[in-house]
Amino acid sequence: MPKRGRKKPRKIKFYQKNLKIPESQNKLLRQFCKIHKTTENKVFRKALREFLQRNVHLIDHPYHEVSANQLTLFDFFGEENVSTGT
């Protein structure tokens, strides 16, 4: 009997972003990382994650407008003459 293998995990896409900071902030960042035994990347990712979670309500979700010619499939002919029963 063949063994059942685990499903291959889905690949996670990563995007590279460049960030420029002044020398003074770089020194502070390195000191912070050294004290807290973490890396600069982890500090940036955590700060960005917290910022986005706090401000998710400010992001506009795109609402697609439906043109006048669409969705006529669901329109009934003579709707204006149909009584509601009251």
Span 22-35, pLDDT tens digits: 999 999 999 999 99
Point out the least confidently predicted range of 39-48, 52-61, 68-77.
68-77
Name the more confident of 26 and 4.
26
Q: Is residue 80 one of the residues assigned to a domain?
A: no
Q: Is residue 36 one of the residues assigned to a domain?
A: yes
Mean pLDDT of the chain: 82
User: What was the pLDDT predicted at 54?
Assistant: 92
Contacts of residue 74, Cβ cutoff 8 Å, sequence gap at least 6? none
Q: Is residue 39 one of the residues assigned to a domain?
A: yes
Domain assignment of residue 55, given as a range:
20-59
For the chain, the straight-line distance linking the first and the last C-alpha, in angstroms and rounded, comes to 68
The Cα–Cα gap between 4 and 41 comes to 38
Question: Is residue 85 scored above 60 in pLDDT?
Answer: no
- Angstrom CA distances, 53 to 6, 34, 42, stand at 33, 26, 16
User: What was the pLDDT predicted at 80?
Assistant: 59
**How many separate domains does the chain show?**
1
Span 64-74, pLDDT tens digits: 676 666 656 66
